[in-house]
């Protein structure tokens, strides 16, 4: 059994200035004010758009992110409906095969340290799930049958694509104090990376 940390990779090529210019070109169609476009006007325009809540304009750009998290967190992520997803399938992946090193991978809970007794109980439970899964496969069960004993902590990998408006919804809800700690563990650094790479659009989201 592998115990790993959650991770993400932004897979879209991102040029923040180019994105703002694209948004400005789209947005200025509304006012037919394309003549006001200058080498620096996209920043000011993006500020105006976010401050006025004219968010339909930022729907013109989408970003794809690959996320590795547990199945509990992925189940919450896919509740965001204005998005496209492709996710590792527990129906088709057979974790007893060599390409998985014949073991399951689970995501370490961020709220318990390895020395904590609760972590020990969790780790034992994960090992029992893995053992039951391997036994079921050895007894002729298919992966889609044997997955019944796989835990919420099972590692999953998903590719998700959202437009910038939906990313704002996602970050606002999933970085907040009310969100699950393992969701925040991904959403907060992801938001920081979005902010570094795309000016203005996400700056007002507080968490």
Catalytic residues: 174
Neighbours of 204 (CB within 10 A): 11
Residue closer to ligand FAD, measured from CB, 93 or 169: 169
Tokens encoding 153: 């902590």
- Tell me the angle at which helices 41-52 and 16-31 cross, rounded to the nearest 10 degrees: 70
Residue 156 burial by Cβ neighbours in a 10 Å radius (0-12, 13-18, 19+): buried
Q: Does 80 participate in binding ligand FAD (rule CB under 6 A)? A: yes
Least distance from C-beta 166 to ligand FAD, angstroms? Answer: 6
Structure tokens, 18: 């180019």
DSSP-assigned letters across all residues of 127-175: HHHHHHHHHHHHTT--HHHHGGG--TTBEEEEEEEEEHHHHHHHHHHHS
Binding flag, residue 10, ligand FAD (CB under 6 A):
no
CB-neighbour burial class of residue 191 (10 A; exposed 0-12, middle 13-18, buried 19+): buried
Cβ atoms within 10 Å of 79's Cβ, excluding its own: 8
Closer of 1 and 76 to ligand FAD (Cβ): 76
DSSP secondary-structure letter at 60? G
Q: Which lies closer to ligand FAD via its Cβ, residue 28 or residue 168?
A: 168
Of residues 81-110, those binding ligand FAD (CB under 6 A): 81-82
**Is 205 near ligand FAD (CB under 6 A)?**
no
Q: Which of 13, 31, 53, 79: binder of ligand FAD (CB under 6 A)?
A: 79
- Build a one-symbol-per-residue string for 163-192: x at contacts with ligand FAD by CB under 6 A, - elsewhere: ---x--x---x----xx-------------
Tell me how many residues contact ligand FAD (CB under 6 A).
Answer: 9
Interacting stretch for ligand FAD, rule CB under 6 A, among 80-88, 102-110, 118-126, 189-197?
80-88
Q: Which is nearer to ligand FAD, 57 or 179 (CB)?
A: 179
Binding site residues, ligand FAD, CB under 6 A: 79-82, 166, 169, 173, 178-179
């Amino acid at each position: 059994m592998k115990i790993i940390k959650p991770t993400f990779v932004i897979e879209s090529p991102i040029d923040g200035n180019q994105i703002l210019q694209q948004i400005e070109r789209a947005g200025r169609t509304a006012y037919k004010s394309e003549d006001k476009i200058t080498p620096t006007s996209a920043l000011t325009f993006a500020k105006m758009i976010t401050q006025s809540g004219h968010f339909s304009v930022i729907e013109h750009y989408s970003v794809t992110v690959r996320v590795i998290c547990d199945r509990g967190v992925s189940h919450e992520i896919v509740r965001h409906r204005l998005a496209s997803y492709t996710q590792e399938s527990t129906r088709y992946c057979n974790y007893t095969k060599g390409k998985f090193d014949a073991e399951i991978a689970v995501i370490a809970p961020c709220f318990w340290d390895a020395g904590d007794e609760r972590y020990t109980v969790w780790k034992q439970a994960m090992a029992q799930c893995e053992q039951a899964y391997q036994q079921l496969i050895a007894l002729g069960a298919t992966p889609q049958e044997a997955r019944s004993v796989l835990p919420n902590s099972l590692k999953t990998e998903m590719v998700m694509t959202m437009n910038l408006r939906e990313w704002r919804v996602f970050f606002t809800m999933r970085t907040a104090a009310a969100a699950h700690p393992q969701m925040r563990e991904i959403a907060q650094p992801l938001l920081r990376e979005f902010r570094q790479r795309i000016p203005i659009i996400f700056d007002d989201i507080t968490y």
